[in-house]
Amino acid sequence: MEIFMWWLDLELEHKEWLRENLRVTELPLTVLQGIAEAGGPHPDDPGGGLSAADWDFIETQSEFVD
């Protein structure tokens, strides 16, 4: 599922963590679970299953005022 379809449902604390830790290779379990609960990739992958395009979205398209 495309990130823009679940990003709005992701909790603010998880969005902030992702913005502050761009392109990390391993996400904390709480962030992985938050992504899955919002409808994003399942936390089977420590990297969260986030693609380069997802990280580009987080870096450039996501709004800081959620």
> What sign for the dihedral angle of Cα 61, 11, 29, 20?
positive
Range of the domain at 58: 3-63
Q: Is the pLDDT of residue 66 over 80?
A: no
- Count of domains for the chain: 1
Q: What is the pLDDT of residues 9-56, one digit of tens each?
A: 999 999 999 999 999 999 999 999 999 999 998 877 666 689 999 999
**Whole-number pLDDT of residue 15:** 95
- pLDDT value for 47: 60
Q: pLDDT at position 46, please?
A: 61
In the chain, what is the greatest distance between 2 CA atoms, to the nearest angstrom? 29
The pLDDT assigned to 6 comes to 95
